[in-house]
Structure 1
Amino acid sequence: MGDTCSILLATDLSPRCDRALDRAIAIARRRRCKLVVLHVIEEPALAERLMAQRSRDADAAGAERLLRDIVGETDVPVELVLESGNPVERIRETARVRQCDLIVTGTARQETLGRLLLGSTVEKLARESTLPVLIVKQRPHRAYGQVVAASDFSEGARQAMNAARAFFADAQLTLLHAYPTLRADPDAGELAQARKQAEQAANAFVAGNVAQLSQSVRLVMQHGMPEAVVPEYVRAHGADLLVVGTHGHTGLLRTALGSVAERLIYLTPCDALIVRTV
C-alpha cells in the first residue's frame, strides 16, 4: 500500500457522489498519489437499445463532459476514465490495470429516517473486490481522526486493522470487540466468564500483532451483540470511520463476524472501510 499506488473513485455522476469525490481527493492529496475517476456506462438490454433514440457515441460524449465538470479543477493528479459494460467488472479491471490499492464509492441514496441504501453495484463490489472499498456517507469536513475497527481477533480482523493503519496512519484507531453471552440477561458468573474468554482472545491477538500495535491503537471490549455495541460506540465517540473485515462469501458481507458486518454497515452513520480477507 505504498504511495506510488493510485486511488480509484467509482462514480455514477449523480450529485450524491460529490461526498465520495471530495473524500477521494483529500486522501489522494494526503498520500500524494494519482486519483483515477471512473464512470461505467451500463450496457442496456436489447429492447431498450431498440426503443432508445440516441446513439452510444452521444451518450459517451455527454458522460465524459459531465465527468470533467464534476471533477473540475483540483490540485491532485487526476485521470478520467469512461468505460462501458458490467460496472463491477469494469471497476475491478480498471483498478488492476492502473495499480490502485483503494476503491472509493458513495451510496445509492439516503432515505428518510436515515435508512441507507448501498445499491447493487456497491453491494457486489464490497463482496467481490479484493481491494479495500471505502463507502463514503458523510461530507468530508476533516481527515479521519477517530477510526473504529470491529474486531473478533480473527485473520480478517488483523488484515482490516492493518489496512486502516496503512491508509489512515494519523488517525486514532480503536479495536472494538463486542462479546455476547448465551443469555440476554446473564448473571455475574456468566458475564465474568464471557469477559475472561474475550480477554484471552485479545491477549493472543495483541501478542501476535505487536508490530502493528502502538500508542495510536487502543483496545475496547464491551458486553453485548456487535450490531448493538458497535453503532452505539460509533455514535457516542463521534467516530469518523468504521472498518470491517470480510471473507466475501454469499450475501453482502459474510465475515468472521457472521452476517453481522452487513448490519454494521447499514446501522452506523459514519463512512465504512470494507477489507476482504486474502
Structure 2
Amino acid sequence: MQRLLACLDVSHYSQTVCEHAAWAAMRLNASVELLHVIQRNDARSELDGAGLAAKPGLLDEVMALKAAEGRLAERQGHLLIEAALDQLRARGVTDIELSLREGGIVETIAEREAFSDMTIIGKRGAQADFAKGHLGSKVERVIRQSRKPVLVATRVFKAPQRIAIAFDGGPSSRLAVDYVSTSMLFGGLDIDVVLVGGYTDGNAAHIDWAQTRFTGRAGVKVLQREGNPDAVLPQVIRERGIDLLVMGAYGHSPLRNMLVGSTTTQMIRAGQTSVLLFR
C-alpha cells in the first residue's frame, strides 16, 4: 500500500493539504500520515544573543514562559491533527496515522519522508497571511531536499480533471511523465504534455518519447510552444483549464538550478494551481 505524508501547520493551508491528501489517498488506496512539527527554541541561547542572560531571575522567568508556550503549542498541535483526522475520515480515508513531533520542520519532514511515497505540503507556511506571494523558505527547503514526489497545495482545492506536465526531456520531467502514465492517481484524467522550446530535432525526439508513454490512452494531448517557460506555462494553464501542474523540481548543478529552479519557484509562488514536483 502506498503512503502519503501530509504536513500540517497552523496556517490556512492545512485545510487544503487535507483535501489534497484525501483526494490522492482515495485514488491510490493509500494510507496517510498526518504530521505536525512543534519547534522549540532554547531560552538561554536567545538571552545570550540579546546580552541578557546574566540578569538575575530573568532566565527562570523566560524558562517558565517557554514551558507555558510549549504546553500551548502541544495542545494546539493535538487539536490540529485531530481536526485533520476528522476531515480525512469525512472524505472516506480510513488508514490514518497521527504524528505530533518536536524538532526542526525540514529535518523532521525529511525523516518521515523516508517512509512515504509522496509528501503533501502547503504552498506557504504558518506566516502565509503575512507573506503573500512569497514561497516560504521552509517550503522551498523541503522541495529542494526531497527525493520523493512533493505535492504543493494551493489555498483553494479543486479535484483535478485536467493536468499538465511541463516537459523538457530532462531526467526529472521524464520521471514525471513515467509516473503520470502509470499511476492510478491520474487514471481517467485529461493530460496535456507541454514542451516549451524551439522546433529542433532534439525536441522532436523528446515529444516522440513522451507520446510512446501514452500510446493507446485517450485524453492525452502533446503541445509545443515557443517562448519563456515562466510566461508560457501560466498561459497554457489558463487556456486549457489546468487543475494540476506536474513538473521537475530544482536541479543539482548551478546552471540547471538557475534555469529550472527559477521556473519551479515561479510556478509555485505566482500560480493558482497546485504543483506536483519530481527530482
Q: Tell me the TM-score normalised to structure 2 length.
A: 0.79
Say whether the 8 Å CA contact 2:177–2:210 is kept in structure 1: no
Question: Post-superposition shift, 1:269?
Answer: 1.5
The size of the alignment, in residue pairs, is: 250
Name the residue aligned to 1:191. none
Equivalent of residue 39 in structure 1, options 33, 36, 39: 36
Q: Deviations over 1:231-251 (max 9, x none)?
A: 011011110011111344389
Question: Post-superposition shift, 1:226?
Answer: 0.9
Say whether the 8 Å CA contact 1:254–1:261 is kept in structure 2: no
Structure 1: distance between partners of 2:40 and 2:169 = 42
Name the residue aligned to 2:174. 158
Match for 2:143: what amino acid? A
Distance 1:178 1:208, change over 3 A: closer
Which has a greater percent of helix? 2
Name the residue aligned to 2:227. 224
Q: More deviation in 25-34 or 102-111?
A: 102-111
Say whether the 8 Å CA contact 2:250–2:260 is kept in structure 1: no
Structure 1: distance between partners of 2:211 and 2:229 = 25
| 1:102 paired to 2:125 | no
Match for 1:201: what amino acid? G
Question: Post-superposition shift, 1:66?
Answer: 3.0
Query: Quick one: percent identity of the two aligned structures?
Result: 23
Match for 2:232: what amino acid? V
Say whether the 8 Å CA contact 1:160–1:275 is kept in structure 2: yes
Name the residue aligned to 2:249. 246
Structure 1: distance between partners of 2:144 and 2:242 = 24
Match for 1:44: what amino acid? N
Query: RMSD over aligned Cα, in angstroms?
Result: 2.6
Distance 1:58 1:265, change over 3 A: closer
Question: Post-superposition shift, 1:100?
Answer: 1.2
Say whether the 8 Å CA contact 1:241–1:272 is kept in structure 2: yes
| 1:204 paired to 2:205 | yes
Say whether the 8 Å CA contact 2:6–2:121 is kept in structure 1: yes
Name the residue aligned to 1:134. 151
Structure 2: distance between partners of 1:172 and 1:247 = 26
Structure 1: distance between partners of 2:263 and 2:83 = 39
Q: Deviations over 1:88-130 (max 9, x none)?
A: 111121122xx31111111223679xx5333122110110000
Secondary structure at 2:260's aligned position in 1? coil
Name the residue aligned to 1:22. 19
- Please list every run of 5 or more consecutive structure 1 residues that lacks an aligned counterpart in the other structure: 180-193
Name the residue aligned to 1:190. none
Match for 1:121: what amino acid? K
Return the index of the structure with the highest Cα Rg: 2
Match for 2:77: what amino acid? A
Structure 2: distance between partners of 1:59 and 1:138 = 23
Pairing of 1:87-126 with structure 2 (within 5 A): 87-96=105-114, 99-108=115-124, 109=128, 116-126=133-143
